[in-house]
Amino acid sequence: MPVPPRFDTLCNFRDLGGRRTVDGRAVARGRLYRSDSLAKLAGDDLTRFAALGVRTVIDLRYPWEIAERGRAPESLGVTWLNLSVEHRPYVQADIDPDVDPWRHLADRYAEVAEDGVVELREALEVIAHGEHPLVFHCASGKDRTGLLAALVLALLGVDDDQIAADFAATEEATGRLVAEFRERNGGASPRWPAYGRAPAEIIRLVLADLVAAHGSVRAYVTGRLGVGEETIAALRARLLTDHGKPDDDDTALWQAP
C-alpha cells in the first residue's frame, strides 16, 4: 500500500494503518486517515488528496469554527459530516502556564468522552460501516482527533504503547501549529508555552481514566457510547488484515512536510 502524500497545506495528516494488534493482526493501510483541518487544502494538495480515494470526511470541529475557517473543499466531492464532539469550549492557547498541562488536557478529553457520546458513537458507526477510505479531523488534528483515533485503535486491539506513539507523532507538527497560530493572530504567540504539544503522557492518562471509570475502553464504548458489538465487529472486519508487518519505526507512519 503506497504511503500517503506529503501535503504542503496540511501539517498533521497520517494513516492510522500499520500498527500491530495484540492478536497478531495489523491495521490495514489506506483505509482510515487522521488530519488537521482539511479546510486548508489548496493547489496541488487537492490532487494529492483526491488520489487517496477518500469518499467520507468527518469534521469534529464546532460549527462556529467551520463558519470562521471553512470546511473541506466541496470540489473534492466527498460526503462531509460535521460531528462536533466537544461541548465545553476552552482556549488552549490561554492555558495557565502554572497548571499541570498534561493533566489539564486529559481532563478536557474526559469532558469530550462524557459530553460527546452521540457524536462519538456516530463517528465510530460511520467508520465501521464505510466502504471507501475515510478521514477524520478537527482543527489541529491533535485533541479531538487524537481521542477518536485512540478509541478506534483500542477497539482494533492495538496496545497502549502504540496508541501513545500514534498520538505523540503530532509532536512533529508542533512548530507548524504554533506558526499557524501566529499567522491567525497578527504574529502574537500563545500565552501557554506548550501550545501544540502532544506528549504520549496525555493519551496515557486518558486511557487510564477510561479504564478506571468503565473497566476498559471497549466497555466505555459499548456502555457509555452505546455502540453495539456488531459495529465493533464491522470496524475490525473493515480495518484489520492478516497481512502486513508492524512499523518498528514510527516515522514510517508520518507524512507531514
Catalytic residue positions?
Answer: 138
DSSP-assigned states of every residue in 203-216: HHHHHHHHHHHHSS
Query: For 170, how many CA atoms within 13 A lie in the half-sphere containing its CB?
Result: 32
Q: Describe the chain by its helix, strand, coil percentages, rounded to 5.
A: 50, 10, 40
Instruction: Name the grid cell of 91.
Output: 482556549
Distance CA 49, CA 223 (A): 36
On whether the CB atoms of residues 29 and 15 are closer than 8 A, the answer is yes
Q: Angle formed by the axes of helices 117-129 and 101-115, to 10°?
A: 80
Instruction: Name the grid cell of 1.
Output: 500500500
Please give the distance of CA 127 from its chain centroid, rounded to a whole number.
Answer: 12
Instruction: Name the grid cell of 50.
Output: 483526491
